[in-house]
């Protein structure tokens, strides 16, 4: 289903560009109101980007023009907005964020009244209602209604572990100068942890700037220098989690999912004995889960596709290698804090350090690349790349796989090769890159 503006996680782009600007944001708000077709309260949250307040006010203006009542939650993690929509019985949730992207970008994503991101079909219907004209100026967005959404989120996260259970734990926490700077450290300290902070001084322009889940180098160095038990890193809006063990080694989403799934299988608590992952996840995840009698179901890239499959299958655990981890008994979207607390719970239950728990996943050799291009062309229109893909798939057989796809949020071609040896994988990725560069304008 082709969509012009929506990608894998809402609408996203450079602030002040043809899409992410106040005029478009207002028109999008009006289109969403028309699509919804009923009155009610809409909760709006944002991350710490300098462009957030202006875009928030513009979306609210469009929503109000369509008969809805916008309510600002201020700076708040994305999963906290999803939770608040359900608990406060709002008709819709909106988050102004570009997640792990730099401060120069921003975006807009929506949650339905069930706390789940909108479907592809819904986004296509909204796009069809986008008018060309501007929305008339209206009243400014009301001030932050209350702190109840943030307070409720903090209380719910704190309840995932016993009171005082982290007493004596030293944890390094990187909040990416983003939306979790005021929530995750509060939760961890309230449970007794000594927290060393990184990326905890947002100024509107430093979100994700050399910190956060996309840049875990500082996290790893601080864990080693402080002797911490583990490190936790979020992205700008708090729906991702990357961990670092006590030896300074970084764990991605696949390792987190495998720790949680294999522990639950051993305990007999993995619902439907099922883990839902995307096509991006390493084949080693399947091997680890199946060895304990579980199964892994695959979806397209995007945590909203993961939750859709989880709901359809009745599964409770799923996520992405990027660090989106969904624990459906707590949240129906990725939640970096919940993921970290669930791994800590496994550490407490087993008495094992993170460096040992991570050995549950034996990764197949895998390499990835992302080529930034001037224009996204249909992959089927690139005969050289298509031929290379078919040749490599034939050579790998059942001992590996390829993934070639366009990013849903950026003008990037993402390549993945997985295979039996490092040599095979490196050679395969080099062939894919060469084929892509021959037919695309790579910048």
pLDDT digits (tens, 9 = 90+) for 298-324: 999 889 999 999 999 999 999 999 999
Q: Does 83 score more than 60 pLDDT?
A: yes
pTM over 0.85: yes
Average pLDDT value over all residues in the chain: 95
- Look at residue 62 in the predicted model and tell me its pLDDT: 95
Q: Is 421 helix (H, G, I), strand (E, B) or coil?
A: coil
The answer on 145 and 128 residing in a single domain is: yes
The domain that holds 398 is classified in CATH as 3.30.310.50
Task: Report the distance separating Cα 280 and Cα 394, nearest Å.
Answer: 19
- Name the helix (H) or strand (E) containing 71: strand 69-75
pLDDT in tens, 227-271: 999 999 999 999 999 999 999 999 999 999 999 999 999 999 999
- C-alpha–C-alpha distance, residues 387 and 221, integer Å: 43
Residue that terminates a domain, selected from 121, 150, 179: 150
pLDDT of residue 136: 77
Shared domain for 31 and 93, answered yes or no, is yes
Q: What is the CATH number of the domain that holds 260?
A: 3.40.120.10
Q: Is residue 101 part of a domain?
A: yes
pLDDT at 1: 53
Please answer whether residues 212 and 246 qualify as being in contact, where contact means their C-beta atoms are separated by less than 8 angstroms.
Answer: no
Strands (E), 91-159: 92-96, 105-111
Catalytic residue among 72, 99, 213, 281: 99
pLDDT for 143: 66
Angle between helices 148-158 and 336-350 (to 10 degrees): 20
Number of domains in the chain: 4
pLDDT number for residue 207: 98
Domain boundary among 126, 150, 174: 150
Asked if residue 93 lies in contact with residue 73, where contact means CB atoms within 8 angstroms, the answer is: no
Across residues 200-222, what is the average pLDDT? 98
| Residue 348 included in any domain | no
Same domain, 62 and 105: yes
pLDDT band at 281 (very low <50, low <70, confident <90, very high): very high
**pLDDT value at residue 100:** 95
Is 357 a domain residue?
A: no
Percent of the chain predicted with pLDDT > 70: 98
Model confidence over 128-146: pLDDT tens digits?
999 877 787 776 676 666 6
Distances (CA, A) of 136 to 6, 54, 61, 93: 24, 15, 8, 22
Quick one: 259 and 194 in the same domain?
no
Determine the pLDDT at residue 145.
Answer: 65
Report whether pLDDT(289) > 80.
yes
The answer to whether residue 1 sits within a structural domain is: no
128/40 same-domain check: yes
pLDDT at 140: 65
> Does residue 34 sit in the same domain as residue 101?
yes
**What residue numbers bound the domain in which 134 lies?**
6-150
Q: Is 99 a catalytic residue?
A: yes
pLDDT average, residue stretch 122-129: 96
SS3 442: strand
135 and 59 in a common domain:
yes
């Amino acid at each position: 289903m082709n969509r012009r503006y929506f990608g894998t996680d809402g609408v996203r782009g450079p602030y002040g560009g043809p899409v992410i600007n106040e005029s478009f944001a207002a028109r999008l708000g009006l289109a969403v109101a028309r699509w919804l077709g009923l009155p009610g309260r809409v909760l709006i949250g944002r991350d710490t980007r300098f462009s957030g307040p202006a875009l928030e006010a513009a979306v609210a203006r469009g929503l109000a023009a369509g008969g809805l009542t916008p309510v600002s939650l201020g700076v708040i993690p994305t999963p906290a907005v999803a939770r608040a929509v359900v608990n406060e019985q709002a008709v819709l949730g909106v988050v102004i964020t570009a997640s792990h992207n730099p401060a120069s970008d921003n975006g807009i994503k929506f949650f339905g009244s069930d706390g789940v991101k909108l479907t592809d079909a819904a986004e296509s219907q909204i796009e069809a209602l986008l008018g060309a004209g501007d929305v008339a100026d209206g009243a400014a967005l009301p001030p932050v209604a209350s702190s109840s959404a943030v307070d409720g989120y903090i209380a719910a996260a704190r309840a995932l572990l016993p009171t005082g259970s982290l007493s004596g734990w030293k944890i390094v926490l990187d909040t990416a100068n983003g939306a979790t700077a005021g929530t995750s450290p509060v939760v961890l300290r309230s449970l007794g942890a000594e927290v060393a902070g990184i990326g905890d001084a947002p100024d509107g322009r430093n979100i994700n700037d050399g910190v956060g889940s996309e840049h875990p180098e500082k996290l790893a160095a601080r864990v080693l220098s402080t002797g911490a038990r583990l490190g936790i890193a979020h992205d700008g809006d708090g729906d991702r989690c990357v961990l670092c063990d006590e030896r300074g080694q970084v764990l991605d989403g696949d390792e987190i999912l495998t720790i949680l799934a294999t522990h639950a299988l051993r305990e007999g608590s993995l619902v439907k004995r099922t883990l839902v992952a995307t096509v991006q996840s390493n084949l080693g995840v399947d091997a680890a889960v199946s060895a304990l009698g579980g199964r892994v179901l695959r979806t397209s890239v995007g945590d909203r596709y993961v939750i859709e499959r989880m709901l359809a299958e009745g599964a409770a655990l799923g996520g992405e290698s990027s660090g989106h981890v969904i624990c459906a008994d707590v949240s129906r979207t990725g939640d970096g804090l919940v993921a970290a607390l669930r791994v800590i719970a496994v550490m407490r239950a087993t008495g094992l350090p993170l460096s040992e728990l991570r050995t549950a996943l034996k990764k197949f050799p895998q390499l990835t690349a992302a080529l930034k291009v001037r224009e996204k062309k249909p992959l089927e229109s690139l005969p050289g790349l298509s031929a290379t893909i078919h040749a490599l798939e034939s050579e790998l057989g059942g001992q590996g796989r390829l993934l070639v796809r366009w990013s849903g949020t950026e003008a990037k071609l993402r390549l993945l090769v997985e295979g039996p040896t490092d040599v095979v994988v490196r050679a395969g990725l080099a062939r894919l890159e060469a084929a892509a560069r021959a037919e695309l304008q790579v910048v």
